[in-house]
Amino acid sequence: MWKDLGDREAGKLRPYSFSNRITSDRIASLQLSNYKEIVSPHRGAVNSLQVDLTEGRYLLSGASDASAAVYDIQRATEYEGGSLVAKHKSIFVVDKQHEHGHKYAISSAIWYPIDTGLFITGSYDHYINVWDTNTTQVVVNFKMPGKIYRTAMSSLATAHMLIAAGTEDVQVRLCDIASGAFAHTLSGHRDGVMTVEWSTSSEWVLVTGGCDGAIRFWDIRRAGCFLVLDQSQSQLGRRPPLLECSTANKAPMSKSFPASQSVNVRSRAPQRKFAYGNGSKQSATGRTSSQAKGLVRQRLHPGMLSSQDRATSHYGAVTGLKVTDDGMYLLSAGSDSRLRLWDIMSGCNTLVNFETVRLQTSKAMQLAITNDSALVFVPCMTAVKAFDVWSGKTAMTFRGHYEYVNCCWLSLQDQELYTGGNDRQILVWSPSRLNFDEMDHGSREEPIHAQDQDNWSD
């Protein structure tokens, strides 16, 4: 660390690089905190965790006993062990005893992304409640047609206040907080929608994962999804540079043929097959085995195209989604115990071989990722594993829960990891307090205090 500080002072290291190195070092030293403890009031499995996006100070949790709680993670409630252990008790709890509380398990609890004045809970009782944090009263609620698995709001949105809800119904519903009504529905999945995630590069793009094994991308301003990820469409590693992509795309169009030539028919047939999800094989004449059906399909309303596309991303339900901060890649987890990294622009599976994992299949799970997209934190049964995003190798393993882990949240402000599981506990994983000076001491020829000593003091 002292070397990085010296390089930063000498101008050899840019501020952004210096910040990334410090952050990476802190994350690499994460361990179960022995000086910070979250006192959980929940009497059921912790299903959702989130630290507010504005101050990075308040932790929100939702549990299967129909309770939601808020904690101040920067100011301890009390201290124990000679002021060595800081205990953080809940500021308030809303549960079944509340007049507008949920009746069944809370599956999702998220903060309103603009400020901490509102938070949203989704429950198995078919209701989404929008709560006023100051008064702990429900401002507006939405009745859904089935159990709610996951809710999400866009952190980039300036033109809408929509809550995307994934339920056991096949349709994704968008709830408008401003009007208190449903904005519209998104149809295309053939089974319940287990998880939803907004894009980190556009406020209009929504990603959904369903129990049908499909991951769909939606532009909420238009009808129908515009992309369905197919695990059979792959590319090796990261996307090639932009110039190579543009050159490769323009190369086939450099030649032009008369409309009467058969080669033109053969060149357009695969494009028609890819665009409309026609899974039938192409014959030697360039015509598909269901050409008549294909012609009818071209005349369908765009909103109907997604319902006829059978591409799948996992051999089972999609239980978790996480978009990288730059909006270029998507990580997905499925009930087939597979993790996949997708290139969003090309829609291809990057074929990163993540090491063997065991993922629970009964409920949606919450993934976390570092701001530089280097590590992804995944609940793996009773542990949380940190995988290198680009190699798939296990970088760290966090063991502390006694039962299955359901959710994790990485606070980017202080590089702390929060995890919740079926054992009703919320664990804090903090950077090691080991002095970086001591870590560097072994590699120095002279004591650190001798290096820091100036030449003019007595």
Q: Are strands 36-39 and 85-94 parallel, antiparallel or unpaired?
A: parallel
User: CA-to-CA distance for 162 and 120, rounded, in angstroms?
Assistant: 11
At 355 the three-state DSSP class reads coil
What is the rounded CA–CA span in Å between residue 151 and residue 118?
Answer: 14
- Amino acid identity of residue 365, one-letter, is M
Q: For residue 142, what are the contacts with CB-CB under 8 A and spacing of at least 6?
A: 127, 128, 163, 165, 173, 175, 180, 182
> Domains plus CATH for the chain?
1-29 (no CATH), 144-238+299-366+388-394 (2.130.10.10)
Bridge partner list, 182: 175
- What is the predicted pLDDT for the residue at 434? 57
| CA distances to 101, 158, 269, 407 from 104, in Å | 9, 33, 51, 19
Q: At what angle do helices 2-10 and 15-28 cross, to 10 degrees?
A: 170
C-beta separation of 281 from 323 below 8 A: no
In sequence order, what are the residues at sequence separation of 6 or more whose Cβ sits closer than 8 angstroms to the Cβ of residue 232? 311, 349
- Which residues, in sequence order, are bridge partners of residue 166? 150
Q: Which residue has the tokens 């058969």?
A: 262
- Residue 246 φ then ψ, to 5°: -65, -35
| CA gap 323, 389 in Å, rounded | 12
Query: Residue 236's pLDDT is what?
Result: 81
* Best CA proximity match to 154, nearest among 164, 145, 144, 146: 164
Question: Any residues with CB less than 8 A from the CB of 398 and at least 6 apart, and which?
Answer: 30, 32, 383, 384, 385, 386, 417, 419, 429
- pLDDT for the residue numbered 279: 39
Residue pair 18/8 in contact (Cβ under 8 Å)? The answer is yes
Q: What is the pTM assigned to this prediction?
A: 0.78
State which H helix or E strand residue 109 sits in: strand 106-111
Q: Is the separation of the CB atoms in 288 and 281 below 8 Å? A: yes
Going by DSSP bridges, is the β-strand pair 85-94/68-72 parallel, antiparallel, or unpaired?
antiparallel
Instruction: Give first-to-last CA distance, the chain, whole Å.
Output: 28
Q: What is the pLDDT of residue 247?
A: 42
Q: Which residues on adjacent β-strands are paired with residue 405?
A: 421
Counting as low any pLDDT under 70, the low residues of the chain are 1-5, 7-10, 12-13, 16, 18, 239-309, 434-458
Query: Rounded to whole angstroms, how far apart are CA atoms 367 and 16?
Result: 25
